[in-house]
């Protein structure tokens, strides 16, 4: 493992003024806090924070960021508190550690609604201090490098989350090297056969053509020398995922895909960049349509470079990027370049763009939106897409994602102009609003008084900003009409399953979609943004036939030794779909607890009794008991109707216990046998929507009891 002296030596190489004593104290503090904790691979847990700190040191980051990396899991996973970290290392570090802790808790691979809400929180947290995101990205990179020690289902969950969120976020932060590695590591988990196929074909190509990279690097070096230019030349084959993505996008076979090699020529200044471009185009034939000038028109993340693709040696296409050392630093480090140090001083790179400006513009422009899904859509569009640059008639540059239309251009200028547009002129020629724009075009928007956005515009628009503004305008203009129509659609959908539309049912449905109230849900139903049938199936999922074939009860848990029996802890009543841990007892018995069960505190000093287990994938039998805490109206037939509702959802009531009886309400505990946590969630949602139920929640015992207080069959 990297030692404190190793890490300090790495930092001193670029920052001789580093506070070595503080880094050493943070190293010792983190090592002490994580003492006795181990990763799934069997390594001491503290190796992970150390490697995260090393990754950031390689990006030449400041002392506070490195100390944060060493401590980033202490508040979440150890007995250390915010106050203790602040007392020893200052409020700045404590706030950064707390920020990383909050990001770690966000479940970005959960349901679509929750994912969008949590993604919004991630962007908001990033806007406060970009270093929080830098630590989180380094944390995710090291976790992906060591992901093979995790259970297969967790590997897929983390890989999908990485591919959907963290890799494009790294790209938007300008850290292209990290984006490529994250994508390739996730690709290795999500599609190992596809990645292996790319590597096999690439090896076969190398055998047939030789080392193309060295050959072309030599050609470029000779060209630079002949022109008297000092140049640094790098060449490499592109990552397997990058090649795979090109294959999918172009629908070509591997043998026809030519630009799988990339080269960088780094020269002294911008003038030399354009000289090199001319030399390359004189030496080799340029591929039409593949030249991009990101020096005169930088990307929104600060990236600057000249890109060209030429037909090089043996007619093989190669991509060449030409840039200066300062541009190269921004291209390699991205957001980290704004915090990078050299010779003890924070570097002043004229090309480094503070990513918080982009985030601030997003939060200012979209932060007021009540719909988390629209925010998620807008940010993902900005992260995933490349850009085109178009001009207003006055010569102002408008940056848009590739594939944007004249409608997107209009809304990018101002919402008022977008709402009133009727057509556009591109390079002086009148075109429809759905016309896709290309780099360098001049666009004039034609407006008309009284014009309002049309529903068809949503499909024409490509940017989240335009889509959001169009939807908002449509909802405001036709709100009353949509509410009336939505109420009728809801009535028909609910009656189709024998239910009535109540205000409480609609309020529960609105809560499920993250909307403000029932009226907003009705407006979305009326505008066809949300299907009424989907709302009903969310509240009453018994319409779906549940499979009777599935996991046998005695095989429900994976990770037990041969012959070991198990039973669920009565304290937390774990269900399939929840994270669990096993506690061994004398003999061969194991009691299963949820990972957040309070009873586990009693076993913190007996780690040898902890067992790493997980639920078997598949459909479980409805034999897992869980308790619901209900407060219901004291009325004729209410109890019978609630029992029928639970039965309709394929759960069996095994016991009823009344906690309180009043003239107007009852409070009781209901024991139900269910198959998994998803079924429980469906039952609780349906009960919450019932107008005769005042409150409903899952009941768990708060008594920790004695460490060996468990049924005899598990203890013997």
DSSP annotation of 547: P
pLDDT of the residue at 122: 62
pLDDT for residue 637 is more than 80: no
Distance CA 333, CA 328 (A): 8
pLDDT of the residue at 407: 93
- Are 569 and 597 in contact by the 8 Å Cβ rule? The answer is yes
pLDDT of the residue at 605: 82
Cα three-residue angle 181-42-63, rounded to 5 degrees: 55
pTM attached to this predicted model:
0.54
Give the count of beta carbons closer than 10 Å to the beta carbon of residue 673. Answer: 15
Instruction: Tell me which of 348 and 401 has the higher pLDDT.
Output: 401
Determine which helix (DSSP H) or strand (DSSP E) holds 625, and give its type and residue range.
strand 624-633
129 contacts: CB under 8 Å, gap ≥ 6: 95, 96, 99
pLDDT of the residue at 545: 33
Is 219 marked active-site?
A: no
380 contacts: CB under 8 Å, gap ≥ 6: 168, 464
Name the active-site residue from 31, 77, 332, 671.
Answer: 77
Distance CA 440, CA 390 (A): 5
Cα three-residue angle 296-298-300, rounded to 5 degrees: 155
- C-alpha pair distances (Å), 525 with each of 178, 218, 486, 626: 42, 63, 5, 34
pLDDT of the residue at 333: 72
Is 76 marked active-site?
A: yes
pLDDT for residue 710 is more than 60: no
Band the pLDDT of 125: cuts 50, 70, 90.
low
Tell me the mean pLDDT in the region 434-461: 86
Band the pLDDT of 30: cuts 50, 70, 90.
very high
Token pair of 138 as six digits? 């380094």
DSSP annotation of 561: P
pLDDT for residue 210 is more than 50: yes
Instruction: Tell me which of 656 and 73 has the higher pLDDT.
Output: 73
Distance CA 585, CA 565 (A): 11
Tell me the mean pLDDT in the region 8-24: 91
Token pair of 502 as six digits? 């109540």
- C-alpha pair distances (Å), 359 with each of 397, 466, 467, 695: 20, 18, 19, 39
Chain segment 74-106, per-residue pLDDT in tens = 988 888 899 999 999 999 999 888 888 877 766
Name the active-site residue from 19, 31, 62, 76.
Answer: 76
Instruction: Tell me which of 362 and 395 has the higher pLDDT.
Output: 395
pLDDT for residue 144 is more than 90: yes
Cα three-residue angle 556-562-566, rounded to 5 degrees: 45
Dihedral (Cα; 196, 198, 203, 206), 10-degree rounding: -170
**Reduced DSSP (H G I as helix, E B as strand, rest coil) percent helix, strand, coil of the chain, to 5:** 50, 15, 30
pLDDT of the residue at 341: 55
Give me the chain's average pLDDT, please: 80
């Amino acid at each position: 493992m990297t030692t404190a002296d190793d890490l300090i030596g790495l930092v001193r190489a670029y920052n001789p003024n580093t506070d070595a004593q503080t880094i050493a104290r943070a190293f010792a503090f983190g090592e002490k806090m994580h003492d006795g904790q181990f990763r799934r691979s069997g390594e001491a847990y503290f190796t992970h924070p150390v490697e995260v700190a090393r990754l950031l040191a390689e990006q030449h980051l400041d002392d506070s960021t490195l100390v944060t990396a060493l401590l980033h899991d202490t508040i979440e996973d150890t007995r250390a508190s915010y106050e203790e970290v602040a007392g020893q290392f200052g409020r700045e570090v404590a706030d950064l550690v707390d920020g990383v802790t909050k990001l770690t808790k966000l479940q970005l691979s959960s349901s679509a609604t929750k994912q969008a809400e949590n993604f919004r929180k991630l962007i908001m947290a990033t806007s406060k201090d970009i270093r929080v995101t830098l630590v989180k990205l380094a944390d995710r990179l090291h976790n992906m490098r060591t992901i093979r020690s995790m259970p297969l289902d967790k590997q897929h969950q983390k890989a999908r989350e990485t591919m959907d969120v963290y890799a494009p976020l790294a790209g938007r932060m300008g850290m292209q090297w990290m984006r490529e590695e994250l994508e390739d590591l996730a690709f290795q988990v999500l599609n190992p056969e596809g990645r292996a196929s790319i590597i096999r074909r690439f090896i076969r190509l190398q055998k047939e053509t030789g080392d193309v990279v060295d050959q072309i690097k030599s050609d470029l070096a000779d060209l630079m020398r002949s022109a008297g230019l000092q140049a640094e030349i790098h060449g490499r084959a592109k990552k397997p995922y990058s090649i795979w993505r090109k294959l999918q996008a172009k629908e070509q076979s591997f043998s026809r895909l030519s630009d799988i090699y990339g080269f960088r020529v780094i020269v002294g200044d911008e003038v030399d960049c354009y000289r090199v471009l001319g030399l390359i185009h004189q030496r080799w034939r340029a591929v039409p349509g593949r030249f991009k000038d990101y020096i005169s028109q930088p990307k929104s993340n600060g990236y600057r470079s000249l890109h060209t693709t030429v037909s090089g040696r043996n007619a093989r296409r190669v991509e060449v990027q030409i840039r200066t050392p300062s541009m190269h630093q921004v291209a390699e480090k991205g957001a980290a370049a704004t915090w990078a140090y050299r010779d003890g001083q924070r570097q002043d790179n004229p090309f480094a763009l503070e990513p918080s400006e982009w985030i601030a513009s997003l939060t200012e422009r979209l932060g007021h939106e009540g719909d988390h899904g629209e925010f998620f859509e807008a940010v993902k569009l900005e992260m995933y897409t490349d850009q085109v640059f178009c001009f207003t008639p006055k010569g102002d540059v408008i940056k848009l994602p590739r594939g944007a239309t004249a409608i997107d251009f209009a809304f990018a200028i101002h919402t008022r102009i977008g709402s009133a547009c009727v057509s556009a002129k591109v390079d002086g020629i009148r075109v429809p609003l759905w016309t896709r724009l290309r780099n360098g075009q001049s666009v004039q928007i034609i407006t008309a008084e009284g014009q309002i956005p049309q529903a068809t515009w949503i499909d024409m628009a490509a940017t989240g900003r335009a889509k959001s503004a169009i939807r908002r305008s449509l909802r405001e203009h036709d709100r009353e009409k949509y509410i009336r129509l939505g109420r009728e659609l809801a009535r028909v959908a609910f009656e189709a399953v024998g239910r009535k539309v109540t205000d409480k049912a609609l309020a529960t449905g609105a809560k499920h979609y993250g909307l403000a109230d029932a009226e907003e849900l009705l407006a979305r139903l009326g505008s066809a943004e949300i299907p009424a049938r989907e709302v009903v199936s969310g509240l009453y999922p018994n319409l779906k036939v549940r499979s009777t074939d599935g996991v046998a009860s005695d095989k429900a848990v994976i990770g037990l030794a041969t012959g070991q029996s198990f039973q669920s802890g009565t304290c937390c009543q774990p269900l399939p779909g929840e994270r669990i841990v096993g506690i061994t007892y004398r003999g061969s018995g194991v009691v299963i607890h949820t990972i957040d069960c309070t009873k586990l505190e009693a076993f913190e000093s007996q780690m040898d009794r902890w067992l790493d287990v997980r639920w078997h994938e598949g459909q479980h039998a409805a034999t897992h008991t869980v308790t619901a805490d209900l407060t219901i109206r004291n009325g004729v037939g209410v109890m019978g109707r609630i029992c029928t509702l639970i039965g309709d959802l394929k759960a069996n009531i095994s016991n009823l216990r009344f906690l309180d009886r009043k003239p107007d309400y009852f409070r009781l505990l209901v024991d139900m046998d269910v198959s998994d946590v998803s079924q429980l969630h469906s039952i609780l949602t349906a009960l919450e929507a019932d107008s005769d139920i005042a409150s409903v929640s899952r009941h768990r015992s708060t008594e920790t009891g004695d460490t060996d207080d468990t049924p005899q069959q598990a203890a013997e």
